[in-house]
């Protein structure tokens, strides 16, 4: 499980940063990639990575501001030419369906795969997928409806206690696979062995919270509670709290405060204004670290692994 930042800038593209997009790579877990937001030229950013668009199976849109969605029609169309035949699901606020359908209709774009667009309920809710993965979402405070998403991996079965099995002189072989699945197995010597007795406790699945643009607000903390990773915007430096509030954005301090109060493991700051370069950028990260030490100000193409606990 990895976070791969494709665009980390605020509002408009700059030489240093493209507009918003973030890939949650679930290649080992599901052989899928989930995309969060798709600002203009996200497909160009993807060309600089090893990401294959056909692996993108879900796209979550936080809100409908242009710097978060103008890349969608292009990416959706190109995916057709890149061998993308598997169904693609898009989730987002009301209006996302019209935006996509109309863009594709008037540009006479035909997709080679089926596209399922789901408009989410304004007050928030929960998406539960067949494979046990869950995504909770809640509205934040951004002037227009802006969602935060909390992705929850299902708990993972505990590992097989091989050393214990050896103590009982249970021979290695295909039987280990059955025991690992928690099955009861009879050995050649007639003994019955219950796999359940040789499994370590379940390992908790990981939680990743990715927030759309927002002011400092309570729902951010609800979504981020004890997450392994929190992605939070930091459009303003700490001294600009008033301005952040007026423009429905957050400061470095506020993002860090959310991380601290929610007891997350790591904070990733994105949606960085092009005004901040060099020293000012370092300062922004420092401000966050003064409240929540494990804060990282991210750049385009940064990749972070999210380890299991």
Which residues of the chain form contacts with Zn ion (CB under 5 A)? 65, 213
CB-CB contact of 60 with 91 (8 Å)? yes
Q: How far is the CB of 142 from Zn ion (least distance, A)?
A: 6
User: Which residue is nearest to Zn ion, using beta carbons?
Assistant: 65
Nearer to Zn ion, 213 or 287 (CB): 213
Q: How far is the CB of 240 from Zn ion (least distance, A)?
A: 16
Nearer to Zn ion, 73 or 93 (CB): 93
- Residue 154: CB atoms within 10 Å: 14
Q: 85 is written with which tokens?
A: 């035949």
Which one from 67, 122, 155, 202 is the annotated catalytic residue? Answer: 67
Query: What three-state secondary structure class fits 174?
Result: helix
Nearer to Zn ion, 84 or 93 (CB): 93
41's CB contacts (< 8 A; 6+ apart) are 7, 13, 18, 19, 71, 74
Does the active-site annotation cover 98? no
Q: How far is the CB of 89 from Zn ion (least distance, A)?
A: 23
Q: 49 is written with which tokens?
A: 């990575």
Q: How far is the CB of 211 from Zn ion (least distance, A)?
A: 11
Short-list 58, 103, 116, 111, CA closest to 80: 111
CB-CB contact of 79 with 113 (8 Å)? yes
Q: How far is the CB of 64 from Zn ion (least distance, A)?
A: 9
Nearer to Zn ion, 176 or 248 (CB): 248
Q: 118 is written with which tokens?
A: 């789901």
CA distance 122 to 120: 6
Going by their DSSP bridges, the two strands 125-128 and 134-139 should be labelled as antiparallel
Nearer to Zn ion, 62 or 80 (CB): 62
Q: Which residues belong to the active site?
A: 67
């Amino acid at each position: 499980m990895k976070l791969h930042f494709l665009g980390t800038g605020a509002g408009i593209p700059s030489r240093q940063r493209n507009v918003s997009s973030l890939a949650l790579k679930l290649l080992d877990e599901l052989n899928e990639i989930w995309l969060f937001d798709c600002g203009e030229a996200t497909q160009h950013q993807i060309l600089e990575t090893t990401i294959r668009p056909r692996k993108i199976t879900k796209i979550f849109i936080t809100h409908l501001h242009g710097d978060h969605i103008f890349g969608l029609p292009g990416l959706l169309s190109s995916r057709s030419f890149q061998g993308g035949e598997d169904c693609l699901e898009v989730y987002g606020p009301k209006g996302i369906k019209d935006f996509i359908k109309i863009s594709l209709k008037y540009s006479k774009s035909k997709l080679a795969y089926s596209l399922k667009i789901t408009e989410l309920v304004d007050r928030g809710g929960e998406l539960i997928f067949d494979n046990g993965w869950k995504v909770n979402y809640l509205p934040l405070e951004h002037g227009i409806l802006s969602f935060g998403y909390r992705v929850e991996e299902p708990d993972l079965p505990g590992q097989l206690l091989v050393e214990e099995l050896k103590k009982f002189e249970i021979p290695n072989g295909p039987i280990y696979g059955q025991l690992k699945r928690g099955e009861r197995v009879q050995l050649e010597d007639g003994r019955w062995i219950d796999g359940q007795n040789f499994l370590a406790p379940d390992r908790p699945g990981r939680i990743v919270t990715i927030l759309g643009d927002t002011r400092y607000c309570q729902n951010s903390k609800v979504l981020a509670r004890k997450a392994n990773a929190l992605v939070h915007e930091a459009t303003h430096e700490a001294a600009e709290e008033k301005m952040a509030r007026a423009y429905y954005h957050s400061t470095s301090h506020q993002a860090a405060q959310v991380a601290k109060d929610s007891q997350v493991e790591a904070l990733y700051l994105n949606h960085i204004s092009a005004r901040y370069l060099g020293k000012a950028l370092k300062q922004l990260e420092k401000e966050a670290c003064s409240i929540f030490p494990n804060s990282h100000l991210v750049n385009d193409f940064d990749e972070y692994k999210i380890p299991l606990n």
